[in-house]
Amino acid sequence: MEREAILVGIDVGTSKVCALIGEVRRDGGLTIIGKGTMPATGLKKGVVVNIDQTVHSIAQAVEQAERLSGMKIDRAFVAVGGQHVESQNSPGTVAVSGHDREVTREDVNRATEVARAIQIPSNREVLHVLPRDFSVDDQEGVKDPLGMSALRLGVEVHIVTASATAVQNLTKCVVAGGVKIDELVAGALASSESVASETERDLGVAVADIGAGTIDLALFADGSPLHTSVLPVGGNNVTNDVAIGLKTSLQAAEELKVRHGSCDLRTVADDEQITVSVLGEEAGREISRLEVCQIIEARMRETFEITRDRMRESGHGMLPAGLVLTGGAAQLGGVAELGREVLQMPVRIAAPAGIGGLVDGLLTPAYSTAIGLLLWGARELAAGEPVRYESAPALGGLGRIRDALRSIFP
């Protein structure tokens, strides 16, 4: 199969930095040819708090991916997370300009410009302006208005913004790690790319990527995002509760959570005992597994309640396709059952699928954002002019199509 392009995705998360190199085939399929994962120490709740540590983690993950693929990473799609990520929807309408009154690309661009011309505070940076749907005169719900006859063209765009300083610090770390940035992508939208099906997005679905420090949340309807945000809770909150409740170290608490934790108390026997190390004591002590799971269940129940409240605040609480859960903390036992109980909607756990190559350990919920970044890039590539490498690639090349893409997605 002939190669179309090489893409790179870097997910800088609270607990890990993951760099993936993917090959996009002519048929649009994706093959992973390089991967690097390193523990992250310089981030708190998805935001850079220590530049040196973050640069070190990024550089190591990139180097690992380069070694495996035998390629040099030049530029990458980078995920943006943290509670500062917000979104809003904005409408815009213009008169169709041509003498034959047919909607052209220029009309679409002008309508999008009008829609995006809202007051954005100077301390915010725009990450995405995504057209949701169009209206032609009084006809609403038009997906592609090009070539249609009309007097007026309306568009609603989904605008995602982030804190300018948080974005600058992340950018600084990636560039210091030796990589230029093709595009910054909201983590929630990247994850959705790899785990939500087209049918689910059309029906209406929420995607929640539960990471170590945050939950990246994206809501879709009619095939387009209508709400993107980040909640300041994640798997680390559960670990902290276990550590405090059992008077043990964070490391021991994390191990207990992963090995013995469940959110479904019905599956835990009353008399089941496990051994836990206690701070200040040499010998471990026996505790009830039920006690551990009760702490986990209480915190995860609260997490789902916070998620439910955010979905209601956005005005889109009821989504027919329910909630797709992904991210490292979605791997807890019984988490989907608890989610169904609290949210009263369908809940499923999802991991990336349909990817080839070096996927050992990658097709799990923890890597949804990193793989989603490559799929995001592949989709943008398909919408613009394909990049073709005639010889052995020095990575990158997307810069050439960005202008083409900007004319499509201003």
Last residue of a domain, one of 163, 183, 215: 163
What integer pLDDT is reported at residue 398 of this predicted model?
Answer: 43
Tell me the average pLDDT across 41-63.
Answer: 95
How far apart are alpha carbons 242 and 291 in whole angstroms?
9
Residue 202 lies in a domain: yes
Instruction: Give the tens place of pLDDT for each residue, 160-183.
Output: 999 999 999 999 999 999 999 999
202 and 146 share one domain: no
Q: Tell whether 271 and 128 lie within a shared domain.
A: no
Alpha-carbon Rg for the chain, nearest whole angstrom, is 23
pLDDT, tens only, 99-121? 888 999 999 999 999 999 999 99
Name residue, tokens 């592949």.
Answer: 378
Least confident of 89-98, 242-251, 377-386, 389-398: 389-398
- Residue 103 forms part of a structural domain: yes
Q: Is 119 in the same domain as 258?
A: no
Query: What average pLDDT does the segment 385-408 reach?
Result: 35
The answer to whether position 217 is within a domain reads yes
DSSP characters for 257-296? Answer: HHHH-BS-GGGS-TT-EEEE--TT-SS-EEEEHHHHHHHH
Q: With 80 as the cut, is the pLDDT of residue 400 above it? A: no
Question: Could you give the percent of the chain with pLDDT greater than 70?
Answer: 91
In the predicted model, what is the mean pLDDT of the chain?
A: 89
Is residue 397 over pLDDT 60?
no
- My answer on whether 334 and 239 are in the same domain is yes
**Burial label, 123 (beta-carbon count in 10 A; 0-12, 13-18, 19+):** exposed
Quote the domain boundaries for residue 98.
86-163
Same domain, 320 and 245: yes
pLDDT the model gives residue 317: 66
| Interatomic CA distance for residues 315 and 3, integer angstroms | 43
In a domain, 398, yes or no: no
Instruction: Looking at the structure, tell me whether residues 112 and 211 fall in a common domain.
Output: no
pLDDT > 50? residue 407 = no
CATH no. for residue 98? Answer: 3.30.1490.110
Whether 218 is covered by a domain: the verdict is yes
- Mean pLDDT on 253-264: 93
261 touches 293 (CB < 8 A): yes
- Domain final residue, candidates 293, 321, 349: 349
CA 341 → CA 164, 166, 196, 304, distances in Å? 38, 36, 21, 10
User: Does the residue 81 lie in any domain?
Assistant: no
pLDDT bucket at 3, cuts 50 / 70 / 90? low
Do 149 and 211 belong together in one domain? no
Task: Assign residue 224 the CATH number of its domain.
Answer: 3.30.420.40
Q: Same domain, yes or no, for 208 and 332?
A: yes
pLDDT at 156 over 50: yes
- Judgement on whether residues 244 and 299 belong to the same structural domain of the protein: yes
Q: Quick one: pLDDT at residue 40?
A: 94
pLDDT digits (tens, 9 = 90+) for 299-340: 999 999 999 999 999 887 679 999 999 999 999 999 999 999
Q: Are residues 205 and 326 in the same domain?
A: yes
Domain boundary among 349, 378, 397: 349
Domain count, the chain: 2
Cα separation, 96 vs 347, whole angstroms: 43
Kindly state whether residues 155 and 293 are assigned to the same domain.
no
The pLDDT value recorded for residue 393 is 33
Any domain includes 323: yes
Shared-domain flag, residues 202 and 280? yes
Domain annotation covers residue 371:
no
